[in-house]
Structure 1
Amino acid sequence: MNVVVLVMDTVRADAINTALSNATLSSWVESGTGFHRAYVSAPWTLPSHASLFTGTAPSKHGAHAGHKHLDDTLTTLPEILHHHDYETVAVSNNTWISEEFGFGRGFETFYKTWQYVQSDTDLGRIARQEEGRTKLTEATKALFDGNPITNLTNAIYGQFFRKTEDDGAARTNEWIEDWLTTRNDSRPFFLFVNYLEPHLEYRPPKAHAQEYLPEDVSYEAAMEVPQDAWGYIADTVEVTDDDFEILRALYRAEIAYLVEKIQEVVDLCKAEDEWEESLFIVTSDHGENIGDHGLMDHQYALYDTLLHVPLFVHGGPFEDDESHDIVQLLDLPPTILDVLDIDAPEAREQFQGISFHPDADETREYAIAEYMAPQPRMDALKRRVGDLPEHVRTYDRSLRAIRTDDHKFIRGSDGSTELYDVQTDPEEMNDLFETHEDVVADLDTRLDEWLESFEHADPDVEATMSKDTKARLEDLGYLQD
């Protein structure tokens, strides 16, 4: 059986329903299993994908803002499947998910859509960022770093041909179609895709945006609304309630466009007679704050706006059904191995995930999430926006959260604590910490017991990245130290 895992970067669970209700759907939603309580282990791309790949939490795999690399101390899902003679293929639209950050292990093919010709040099970044004589000077320097022809091709592609309203989904699907229709089908395949469309900045195709924008707001006016998350957090950029209404509409339009692109992949699988032989998984690596809790983007918090994500599974034992059990993305590796009937005892020994195969005996009592260090750090944020208001300094901490059926407990390294009744207060607005001491004590103890149950990662080498990669991440809003 083939395995397809499609990650819709930055899609929160409550935002996808409208897009699905407006779309013409096929079996990936209608005849698969929808998981209504799926949660990630971290609120941003790097640690969340590392958990998905290794079946472990951030404090165990060690890839987070304090160490921006997935080290080779743990086995990854693509390595397991490659060892069992799967053709392993990745298509990434997000710079974090690349070989440079440790995600290439186990993949025979790793395709990065931000490059027209696959290369270690991102000359297209210069074409996007620089102007005038500076652009010419910087491009000339970088042109000869590696293969000049490849670099020039990528620069021209980045400047003139990559669509601004598509963050790579169209090109991703073109590549998948070419690969799927020409591959040697003697082996099953594992296809992993990260789609980036719903990520800031929100610039959906005009036709999709017009379906979601308020009637009195034009597409051109919507494109002028501030999307500077860090400026908003630091009070240097004003974003009004009306602005946030527009941003939420653009965000939903991005998701609607992406739902169509996922449908294209389903249709491709059907056309190549691979659909019935595939375990097809659609999910997200984290959600998004769009004014929620006084925040934009997906940092500095562990609220469900960032942790609660969609999860749909079709194929094998997952038929037309829905689940309200608590599951996490780090549960995917053991679940996939169960569906494929792959033993992999050493890998299973490392997993912290719990299989949610319909025949599995165990279910989750709680979900755990970790935010190991702020991203961006305060000094990087200060360089971007200037002096920081005092309230922003409170974000300079790590966070952990434990979520049961009824409550969410959040604990910070600065001594901060929050408790929410997620049944009656799903938006997490009413902090019950001072009035529910017994619940706090219980969840605090359970969180400590979980932390003491495994060996934590202790990277002894600082992770580094190239200047081009750092610049591209800053293009996406990830400020770097």
Structure 2
Amino acid sequence: MQRNMPPQEFLAQPFLILFCLLPMIGCGGPAQPPVPIDDSQPPDVVVFLVDTLRADWTGPGGFTKDTTPNLSSLAKQSVVFEQASSAAPWTLPSVVSLFTGKHMAEHNVVHDRLRMADATVTFPQILQEWGYQTVSFHRNPYAGGKWGLKRGFDQATLTKQQTNSSDLAEFFASITALPFLLYVHNTEPHDPHVVRKKFMSTFDPVPSEFLKEYGELVDVYRRSTREDYVSKKPLGTIDNTEIQEKWIRRLNRRREQVQNLYSVSVRDADDRLGNVIDALKQEGRWENTLFIMLADHGEELGDHGGWQHDQSAYEELIHVPLIVRFPKDEHAGQRISYPVSLVDVMPTILEAVNCPLEQPPMSGRSLLPLIRGEANFGAEMRVVSIRNNMKKYFKPYKEGRGDLNVVVRNGDLKAIFNVEPGTVELYNLRSDPGEARDLSKARSTEANELGQFAARRYAEMLKHSDHALAGDLNDQSAEVLKALEALGYLGGESAPPDAPK
């Protein structure tokens, strides 16, 4: 990059542009030719997030079913990070970490009654200041303005459906020859799994009666975990443990069917990924695009006895795909096995586009030195994820692991420091990717060392944390509330019903 592009030259005026384009949209005229690309300009940036996608349910992650043909094709043109961790096991803190390069203990958005501090800087802000056109299409409200995540976007749209190529028509029509940042956040395969009919029989057929039953199962189970939070009572005031255990048993009996439904939902999500990539190619933007595909967290499917997300720090929840395709397929074909975290995405983007603007302090670090073979992240201890539960209560989890868990990686070793009980779980993910054998007693010296590091590092983060601002779901717009309800994040005011045995 030879010069700093002044913002006043390049900032988009999205509302004016869309107003001018309205008479032309849908008129059936000839398609506009692709905008010519100047290779000397910074690349376009697309961050495509698939909500609730486990790394081990994808082709690049080794899944046996063909759930992700488009992602597998993309991986061949990209750098695949085999050991990427989400910064948190649920959407809001994870996406804030993605946008800021900071862990939850630093940005302090630990639940959905808090939003980002005004002083917290996001990578869309930096790119916008540099001159990028910046647009967000998000199906999950937690990626939106109510929590500060509209910051840095010229246009941020809470969509009513999963973003597809056809939904980007207005966006592409507004693009000038200047670089853009596009953030897409789709919610499949998040439950309740609204899958298009053409994919419902991709693997084992999904009976319609099971869809109805599953909707009831996840709705009542979720409400039974959140009753304290919804009623603004301390966690554990209402103990629904017996009810939850009954519903967990019922989910366990349907485990194969639930996993099949999840697979179908992943296949549907992958199709939308492919459509967006095709649209970029048709617009002539693909060659000079930095395309990053990732997930905010995974999903518990009975692996450690749990369901849904936010209730543990095991791999089914924090091991996510991270696939980075550079312009002109640079670095294509690399597979990197060193542990990384989604807090690393922001500095990676800023270095990849050669952004000269000052960057704020963050825990994340650019992955470019790792890609170029100039660094080795595997030979050191590092916090990669944090769970700080303030929303759900299940007595066995509370007594066993507590509500605050700090995850440290050191090569193949993964330690989970359970802060409240003061315990450490230790796993070798190379030999035991399913975390079935806790090595903390057999390798107590390493477990203690990693646990002590987690405690020190977490304390350091707290000393420099941002002051998240108080908010309340009661203040949210009707549109946001409706979208949250559709994803199962609201409800629970009435006691959940007991389950049939």
Aligned to 2:385: 369
Runs of 5+ unmatched residues, structure 1: 115-167, 379-387
Distance of 1:252 and 1:295 partners within structure 2: 18
Asked if the contact 2:416/2:426 (under 8 Å) is kept, the reply is yes
Structure 1 residues 27 and 475: alpha-carbon distance in aligned structure 2, compared to 1, 3 A threshold: closer
SS in 2 for 1:53: helix
Aligned to 2:104: 58
Indicate whether 1:288 and 2:299 are aligned.
Answer: yes
Identical aligned pairs, as a percentage? 27
SS in 1 for 2:349: helix
Structure 1 residues 184 and 461: alpha-carbon distance in aligned structure 2, compared to 1, 3 A threshold: closer
Indicate whether 1:186 and 2:177 are aligned.
Answer: yes
Give the length in aligned residue pairs. 411
Asked if the contact 2:298/2:320 (under 8 Å) is kept, the reply is yes
Aligned to 1:449: 456
Given the alignment, which residue of 220, 225, 235 partners 2:245? 235
Q: Which amino acid aligns with 1:10?
A: T
Asked if the contact 1:203/1:250 (under 8 Å) is kept, the reply is no
Which shows bigger deviation, 399-408 or 284-293?
Answer: 399-408
SS in 2 for 1:239: helix
SS in 2 for 1:354: coil
Indicate whether 1:405 and 2:411 are aligned.
Answer: yes
How many angstroms does 1:371 deviate by? 1.2
How many angstroms does 1:286 deviate by? 0.3
Q: Which amino acid aligns with 1:440?
A: A
Distance of 2:376 and 2:153 partners within structure 1: 31
Distance of 1:109 and 1:375 partners within structure 2: 31
Q: Which amino acid aligns with 1:368?
A: V
Indicate whether 1:6 and 2:48 are aligned.
Answer: yes
Distance of 1:367 and 1:413 partners within structure 2: 14
Structure 1 residues 94 and 71: alpha-carbon distance in aligned structure 2, compared to 1, 3 A threshold: same
Structure 1 residues 426 and 184: alpha-carbon distance in aligned structure 2, compared to 1, 3 A threshold: closer
Asked if the contact 1:39/1:327 (under 8 Å) is kept, the reply is yes
Which shows bigger deviation, 39-48 or 421-430?
Answer: 421-430
Distance of 1:353 and 1:67 partners within structure 2: 25
Structure 1 residues 242 and 264: alpha-carbon distance in aligned structure 2, compared to 1, 3 A threshold: same
Q: Which amino acid aligns with 2:384?
A: I
Task: Encode CA deviations 1:156-180: one digit per residue, 9 max, x unaligned.
Answer: xxxxxxxxxxxx22x5432213311
Structure 1 residues 27 and 432: alpha-carbon distance in aligned structure 2, compared to 1, 3 A threshold: closer
Structure 1 residues 342 and 197: alpha-carbon distance in aligned structure 2, compared to 1, 3 A threshold: same
Which shows bigger deviation, 219-228 or 416-425?
Answer: 219-228
How many angstroms does 1:52 deviate by? 0.6
SS in 1 for 2:201: helix
Distance of 1:183 and 1:371 partners within structure 2: 40
Distance of 2:259 and 2:126 partners within structure 1: 39
Given the alignment, which residue of 114, 123, 141 partners 1:68? 114
Aligned to 1:265: 276
Distance of 1:60 and 1:107 partners within structure 2: 22
Question: Where do residues 288-437 of structure 1 align in structure 2 (5 Å cutoff)?
Answer: 288-316=299-327, 317-347=330-360, 350-357=361-368, 358-359=371-372, 361-364=374-377, 365=380, 366-376=382-392, 378=393, 390-391=395-396, 393-394=398-399, 397-415=403-421, 416-437=423-444
Asked if the contact 1:11/1:284 (under 8 Å) is kept, the reply is yes
Distance of 1:111 and 1:239 partners within structure 2: 38
Aligned to 1:153: none
Q: Which amino acid aligns with 1:338?
A: E
SS in 2 for 1:111: strand
Aligned to 2:207: 218
How many angstroms does 1:14 deviate by? 0.5
Q: Which amino acid aligns with 2:396?
A: H
SS in 2 for 1:263: helix
Structure 1 residues 175 and 472: alpha-carbon distance in aligned structure 2, compared to 1, 3 A threshold: closer
Asked if the contact 1:402/1:409 (under 8 Å) is kept, the reply is yes
Indicate whether 1:33 and 2:85 are aligned.
Answer: no
Distance of 1:240 and 1:54 partners within structure 2: 36
Asked if the contact 2:47/2:182 (under 8 Å) is kept, the reply is yes
SS in 2 for 1:441: helix
Structure 1 residues 460 and 325: alpha-carbon distance in aligned structure 2, compared to 1, 3 A threshold: closer
Q: Which amino acid aligns with 1:201?
A: P
How many angstroms does 1:218 deviate by? 3.0
Distance of 2:177 and 2:447 partners within structure 1: 55
Aligned to 1:91: 137
Task: Encode CA deviations 1:335-370: one digit per residue, 9 max, x unaligned.
Answer: 1111111133342xx121121113373342334211
How many angstroms does 1:460 deviate by? 6.9
Indicate whether 1:463 and 2:455 are aligned.
Answer: no
Which shows bigger deviation, 65-74 or 424-433?
Answer: 65-74
Asked if the contact 1:40/1:307 (under 8 Å) is kept, the reply is yes
Which shows bigger deviation, 65-74 or 204-213?
Answer: 65-74
How many angstroms does 1:255 deviate by? 0.9
Distance of 2:362 and 2:397 partners within structure 1: 36
Q: Which amino acid aligns with 1:312?
A: I
Task: Encode CA deviations 1:405-444: one digit per residue, 9 max, x unaligned.
Answer: 2222112232143222222221112222233210112102
Asked if the contact 2:120/2:466 (under 8 Å) is kept, the reply is no
Q: How well do the aligned residues superpose, as a CA RMSD in angstroms?
A: 2.5
Distance of 1:451 and 1:9 partners within structure 2: 26
Asked if the contact 1:41/1:368 (under 8 Å) is kept, the reply is yes
Q: Which amino acid aligns with 1:391?
A: P
